[in-house]
Amino acid sequence: MKILMVCLGNICRSPMADGLLRAKVAQESLDIEVDSAGTSGYHVGDTPDPRMRATAKSMGVNIDDLTSRQFVQADYDRFDVIYAMDESNRDNMFRLARNEEDKQKVKLILNEIYPGENMSVPDPYYGGDQGFIDVFNMLDEATSKIISDIKG
């Protein structure tokens, strides 16, 4: 199974989701590949935002080695499930979808814990430190639910 996490810049929300899910996959010795990408190319090659890295580290998760890349159409072939952090990320990915099968791979990550509510993981980039802590906590909960559903 292959899971992709996607946001706008791939420097705050999706690397955090990626790092959390990777850590849990390793902890549970599951055979799941995890990656992340951004719908924009603004930060390609960059490591995650220092504020997200610091929050992650303070919570015991290291995302220092991840680098930003842009979401591409071929990701629809490589991944089984693609989680968008918000509806704008989802709509951006839909524009690259070739068919209904591609679109059905895309889910809003917070629907895992708040089914059907179509809630967004708020973009913390222009805000203060609390925004990064909130993002961490939401994604911690969502990734735990993903793992528990996979384990059945």
Q: Is the distance from CB of 16 to CB of 56 less than 8 angstroms?
A: yes
Nearer to ligand 4NP, 35 or 123 (CB): 123
Q: In whole angstroms, how close is the CB of 151 to ligand 4NP at the nearest point?
A: 28
Please indicate whether residue 69 is annotated as part of the active site: no
Q: Within a 10 A sphere around the Cβ of 118, how many other Cβ atoms?
A: 12
Q: In this structure, which amino acid lies at residue 75?
A: D
- By CB under 6 A, residue 110 contacts ligand 4NP: no
Q: In this structure, which amino acid lies at residue 34?
A: V
Q: In this structure, which amino acid lies at residue 94?
A: F
Question: Could you tell me what percentage of the chain is helix, strand and coil, using 3-state DSSP and rounding each to the nearest 5?
Answer: 45, 15, 40
Please indicate whether residue 123 is annotated as part of the active site: yes
Nearer to ligand 4NP, 12 or 82 (CB): 12
C-beta nearest to ligand 4NP: residue: 9
Considering only residues 3, 5, 11, 34, which one is a binding residue for ligand 4NP as defined by CB under 6 A?
A: 11
Distances (CA, A) of 88 to 8, 18, 62, 131: 8, 19, 27, 19
Direct distance between the N- and C-terminal alpha carbons of the chain, in angstroms, rounded to an integer: 15
- By CB under 6 A, residue 125 contacts ligand 4NP: yes
| List 35, 49, 86, 123, catalytic entry | 123
- By CB under 6 A, residue 146 contacts ligand 4NP: no
Please indicate whether residue 86 is annotated as part of the active site: no
Among all residues, which ones are annotated catalytic? 7, 13, 123
Q: Which residues bind ligand 4NP (CB under 6 A)?
A: 7-13, 38, 42, 123, 125
